[in-house]
Chains A and B, each alone.
Chain A
Amino acid sequence: DQQVKQNSPSLSVQEGRISILNCDYTNSMFDYFLWYKKYPAEGPTFLISISSIKDKNEDGRFTVFLNKSAKHLSLHIVPSQPGDSAVYFCAASNSGYALNFGKGTSLLVTP
């Protein structure tokens, strides 16, 4: 019962270009969405979040877009940097605390 899906296991982008990571969800009761970044052998690090009452949230190079009708959100990273290479997890919640994670997308930013 995977309620949060990240259908692209990996993505490769050139440095300086835009990285777009996608996430779909099935539970229409989700009201808060987050993106986490994870390096090997470390825990997830919070990047950016968005409430279901918004459709866009921006923080520096990171922007999250939410399309509730399509049950889809995306993370845009502009410009991409080699240090952005990591696994990115999309997460959603309707309980206020329990996060439902996708399986992650491995981003590689090449020089």
Chain B
Amino acid sequence: NAGVMQNPRHLVRRRGQEARLRCSPMKGHSHVYWYRQLPEEGLKFMVYLQKENIIDESGMPKERFSAEFPKEGPSILRIQQVVRGDSAAYFCASSRDRGLFSNQPQHFGDGTRLSIL
């Protein structure tokens, strides 16, 4: 998983606080994807971003969640007013180009484990 950097690795928040998760894609990658994994579940697609653009946010909860990928700096997944149900592992992936090809699959980071007290 070298290349896609996520921080923090672990984040603890109390209910009602804000959580900010950061993702730096692999060098040369301009496409970023966020996934969420609830306990005992598979990863669920949340949002797909390119630099300064949200391409598809169909998997994002309608409220409290937002994502950005600014021209400079990492992609940020922001969760406002966190609730216990937000406890999960959040994974970021990146790819060089859009589209799934065997020579350029999505590469994942090691995730941020978010715990809500």
Contacts and interface: CB of A to CB of B under 8 A. Distances in A.
A44 to B, nearest CB: 5
A83 interface: no
Nearest to B58: A98
A49 interface: yes
B56 A99 contact: no
Nearest to A104: B42
B110 A42 contact: yes
A34 B100 contact: yes
Interface of A: 2, 4, 6, 32, 34, 36, 41-46, 48-49, 57, 89, 91, 93, 95-104
Instruction: Name the interface size band of chain B.
Output: 20 to 34
A43 B105 contact: no
A12 B16 CA distance: 43
A49 B100 CA distance: 9
Interface string B89-104: 0010101001110100
B91 A98 contact: no
B27 to A, nearest CB: 17
B100 A43 contact: no
Interface string B19-41: 00000000000010101000011
B98 A44 contact: no
Contact of A43 (B31, B44, B55, B110): B110
A41 B110 contact: yes
Nearest to A9: B40
B45 A100 contact: yes
A90 to B, nearest CB: 9
Interface string B68-97: 000000000000000000000001010100
